Amino acid sequence: MLFLTPYDIIARLRKRLKLTQRNLLRFDDEKIFNKDDSVIEPTALVEMIDELLHLGYEFIGGFTDKGMAKIVNAYVNVKEWLSKQREKVGFRNLYAVFLYRCLPPSGVLMLNESILAYFPGIMSPHEALPIKVVGISREEKLKINEVCKRHKLEWCGNPSSPVLYRICNPSVENIKKFHTDILKFFEEAGCAEI
């Protein structure tokens, strides 16, 4: 059995899918928005997080150039920067944001420049998920594959509590669809309530 954090899982997915890491947002000198090196606009980030908050998630923080150990409150920082209440956002590069959902199925949602991922059963991006590497039956895998296919999701990890993900551009529409699809997935798959 492996114990992997969401960071580790996403790094493995990037490697397997040959995805390069890009910035969700880039701020030169922590205060000048660099559109050329950013995948989205600052207002788009705020809109996406606002939508997730409306859907029942709680903002945890953002993974930035400050490192994985220091999760930055990128949401508030960018919101205050947009309203001119703050001169600097407190980071140069924002790579991903994490939100927590306490309602079943509870877990952490991660949004970066090309992947939406849901990690069931954890409360923080620093927590490790147990990943079974042997003893998974072919039937379990087939069942999860079929349910994922119906909802246009991919999965990795354990069939009893799979990490669900989708490769897509970050947008409010994609976030709403992903949220709906993960709820339908857990309802249909009959995975243990987390």
State mean pLDDT over 3-8: 92
Q: Residue 49: inside a domain, yes or no?
A: yes
Q: Residue 26: inside a domain, yes or no?
A: yes
Q: Residue 194: inside a domain, yes or no?
A: no
**What letter represents residue 107's amino acid?**
G
∠ CA 188-193-194 to the nearest 5 degrees?
A: 125
Average pLDDT of the chain to the nearest whole number: 92
Q: Residue 146: inside a domain, yes or no?
A: yes
Q: Residue 116 in contact with residue 175, Cβ under 8 Å?
A: yes
pLDDT at 67: 80
pLDDT at 1: 79
Percentage of residues in the chain having pLDDT higher than 70: 97
Residues 116-133: pLDDT tens digits? 999 999 999 999 988 876
Percentage of residues in the chain having pLDDT higher than 90: 78
- Low-confidence winner among 3-12, 87-96, 183-192 (lowest mean pLDDT): 183-192
Residues 78-105: pLDDT tens digits? 999 999 999 999 999 999 999 999 998 8
Residues 40-83: pLDDT tens digits? 999 999 999 999 999 999 999 999 998 877 889 999 999 999 99
Question: Which residue range(s) make up the domain with 137?
Answer: 2-189
∠ CA 100-156-53 to the nearest 5 degrees?
A: 20
- Low-confidence winner among 53-62, 134-143, 146-155 (lowest mean pLDDT): 134-143
- Tokens of residue 34, six digits: 């660099």
Higher per-residue confidence, 190 vs 183: 183
CA 34 to chain centre: 23
- Total structural domains within the chain: 1
Q: Residue 17: inside a domain, yes or no?
A: yes
The residue whose two tokens read 């980030």 is: 45
State mean pLDDT over 181-189: 93
